Amino acid sequence: MYNLCDLHLHSKFSWDAKLSIDEIIKEAQINNFKYIGLTEHIDFWDDHTQNYLKFNYDGYTESIEKARELNLVNICKGVEVGEIHVYPDRFNKFLEGKQFDLILGSIHTIGDYTPVFDEYFEQYKNVKDAYKAYLEEEYELVKYGGFDVAAHITFMHRTGGKFFKDFNYNSFKNEIDDILKLMISKKIGLEINTSGMRHFANGPVPDFDIVEAYIKLGGDIITVGSDAHSQKDIFYGIKETFSVLEKLGVKEITFFKNRKPEKIKIKNEEKN
Ligand SMILES: [Zn+2]
Ligand SMILES: [Zn+2]
């Protein structure tokens, strides 16, 4: 029996998500997840619908504390922060007086474009350049640091998969290795984000060939997250991902408390 864990979930404290924390916990019980991570969006640009200044930290904290009193599931109180390296001062200001268990670092925009939309790819004559630009930005984010886990390091492939079906680790081995090595040296974890499985990537972002490369290079902080923003996506592909990890010989995945990694055995041996 797997110790199922989903460390990338958005509740309605994120501007683009619908589920209440209570609803997420109910789903965790139904689906036998003992560990969940709420990772609400924090973005910094000025004309954002809900940028960092409008995030309801007190409400979020209170809801999590109430949920924890029920003792039904281990809850990681996290945030998913976009483009920290572009807004270092705003990021530091945001963190003042706040406590989190986990900070995910993400690239959602490059300049005025977001790789969720075709327009991002249409800027480039060759789709490979669009992928390369994303990986270069990801490298800059990791180089700046300040977060615990790099979320969806090949996010561009989620939509880009319709233009670049054959993309894999070997397409940009050098660039990806540089990112992975830097993450390992800075003790930044790797997230397997299953949202790619329900989009054009047809697999997690990053896919397992990149996860294997991370492990071979010496990385051992792996998290798994569905990146659900609504009920239909909650825990999507997590069980499948655990079974692939087991086949790859991975024994533990990572949960976070107070921004420190805690290993969890992927399988509960006693029940087998
Ligand atoms: Zn994201
Ligand atoms: Zn997310």
Distance 259 CA to ligand 2 centre (A): 18
Q: Inform me whether the pLDDT recorded for 164 exceeds 50.
A: yes
For the CA atoms of 23, 68, 53, 51, the dihedral, rounded to the nearest 10 degrees, stands at -40
Average the pLDDT over 100-108 and give the result: 98
Q: What predicted TM-score, i.e. pTM, was given to this entire model? A: 0.97
Distance 28 CA to ligand 1 centre (A): 21
Query: With b meaning 16 or more CB within 10 Å and e meaning fewer, what string describes 111-139?
Result: eeebbeeeebbeeeeebeebbbbbbebbb
Nearest ligand, CA of residue 156? 1
What does DSSP assign to residue 115? T
Nearest ligand, CA of residue 155? 1
Structure tokens at 238: 């997590």
- Per DSSP, the three-state class of 53 is helix
Q: Inform me whether the pLDDT recorded for 271 exceeds 60.
A: no
Amino acid identity, position 95:
L
Distance 62 CA to ligand 1 centre (A): 24
- Give pLDDT tens digits for 200-221: 999 999 999 999 999 999 999 9
Residue 183, Cβ neighbours under 10 Å: how many? 24
% of the chain exceeding 90 in pLDDT: 97
H runs (alpha helix) in the chain: 21-30, 57-69, 88-95, 118-122, 127-144, 156-160, 173-185, 208-216, 238-247
Amino acid identity, position 165:
K
Nearest ligand, CA of residue 225? 2
- Give pLDDT tens digits for 215-268: 999 999 999 999 999 999 999 999 999 999 999 999 999 999 999 999 999 998
Structure tokens at 103: 């900070």
Q: Inform me whether the pLDDT recorded for 87 exceeds 90.
A: yes
Domains observed in the chain = 5-271 (3.20.20.140)
Average the pLDDT over 17-37 and give the result: 97
Please report, for residues 93, 240, 258, 265, the alpha-carbon distance to residue 204 in angstroms, rounded to integers and kept in the order given. 33, 10, 27, 21
What is the C-alpha separation between 256 and 79, in angstroms, rounded?
12
Structure tokens at 52: 């960092």
Nearest ligand, CA of residue 152? 1
**Secondary structure of 190-253 as H, E, C letters:** EEEEHHHHHCCCCCCECCHHHHHHHHHCCCCCEEEECCECCHHHCCCCHHHHHHHHHHCCCCEE
